[in-house]
Amino acid sequence: MLHSSARQVGPSAHGEVRIASHDGAPADREQPQRSQTGSAAGHGVPTIVVVDDDDSVRRALARLLTASGYQVRTFPSATEFLAHRFPQDAGPGCLLIDVRMPGLGGLELQQMLTSAGMQSAIVFMTGHGDVQTGVRAMKSGAVDFLLKPFSDDELLDAVNRALVQTSEARVEHDEIEELDHRAAKLTRREREVCTLVVAGRLNKQIAATLGTSEKTVKVHRSRVMAKMEAASLAELVRIVERLNRFHSGGAAPTSSPAELWRPRDGPHEDRPSPA
């Protein structure tokens, strides 16, 4: 239930979307900025994208979000949004998407963005909500599923949570990219050694498995630690497990991390010459 002081965003009795105060009068006055991740103060103002076929909804949301300190881009359809090229590392902080739109719907747009690896968090809006659609949207990663009309506080809270999720996803992406870069430096033999080390094998056991000397295994093991920038075996295990989780889609491993981990192919340099 909305408090009497809360404003609502949604269709009025005449079909027009308004931002109204508790007495029903339009409220276009500027609102105080909210404290949030990606504050609008100066550099790094978050961009919020609104995708809704209703022009009055787009205008109302743009007015509210701009007054709250965000940059806002609006699109009347999913197709027009997809035609706009956002930089991969500087895309929208949050997407506000209507579920039902002519042509490509909100859920279909979500699937396309997920497949493309877009990291912007999504908040769905709808005036025709049902449990099945809401569950599907949330299971696919949506931050929230708002039923029109909703209050400005409900919307801004959902936007704030979406910005936090987007920020965390981008940090995770950058860190995984760095770990992948390290893993790509490993030779084929070093990857084999790394796999067995992470599986808990001793140098002697690794040497027997690979048909080489224990001394050679020690050299490879040292190079693995250096290239992966791991200060200890425990840290190496954590790195491999993290890469596993990410590249398996976040699912819990069904076998050991060593069996799942598949770094990109590096040079096929087999063994160092014995000293």
Instruction: Specify the pLDDT at position 6.
Output: 45
Decide if 94 contacts 119 (C-beta within 8 A).
Answer: no
pLDDT for res 117: 81
pLDDT digits (tens, 9 = 90+) for 176-193: 999 999 999 999 999 999
Is residue 148 within 8 Å of 11, Cβ to Cβ?
A: yes
Q: Are 241 and 199 in contact (CB under 8 A)?
A: no
> 14: which residues sit within 8 A by CB, 6+ positions away?
none
**Domains of the chain, earliest start first:** 8-29+38-170 (3.40.50.2300), 184-260 (1.10.10.10)
pLDDT in tens, 143-162: 999 999 999 999 999 999 99
Q: 3-state class of 76 per DSSP?
A: coil
Question: What pLDDT, on a 0 to 100 scale, did the predictor assign at position 150?
Answer: 93
Residue spans of alpha helices (H) in the chain:
55-67, 78-83, 106-115, 131-139, 152-183, 188-198, 203-210, 214-227, 233-247, 257-260
pLDDT in tens, 255-266: 444 443 554 444
Q: Which of 155, 136, 169 is nearest to 48 (CA)?
A: 155
- Burial bucket for residue 246 (CB in 10 Å: 0-12, 13-18, 19+): middle
| All residues at 6 or more sequence positions from 262 whose CB lies less than 8 Å from its CB, including other chains | 247
- The secondary structure of residue 184, as a DSSP letter, is T
Please give the pLDDT value at position 237: 96
pTM score: 0.69
Residue 13's pLDDT is: 36
At 160 the pLDDT is 96
Taking the C-alpha atoms of residue 182 and residue 184, their distance in angstroms, rounded to an integer, is: 5
Q: Checking DSSP bridges between strand 47-51 and strand 8-11, what pairing results, if any?
A: unpaired
pLDDT digits (tens), the chain, 275 positions: 333 334 455 544 333 333 333 333 333 333 334 434 433 333 478 999 999 999 999 999 999 999 999 999 999 999 999 998 776 556 789 999 999 999 999 999 999 998 888 889 999 999 887 888 889 999 989 999 999 999 999 999 999 999 999 999 889 989 999 999 999 999 999 999 999 999 999 999 999 999 999 999 999 999 999 999 999 999 999 999 999 888 886 544 434 444 435 544 444 445 454 43
- As a whole-number percent, the residues of the chain with pLDDT over 90 amount to 60
Question: Which of 232, 203, 233, 231 has the alpha carbon at shortest distance from 219?
Answer: 203
Cα(58)–Cα(243) distance, integer angstroms: 40
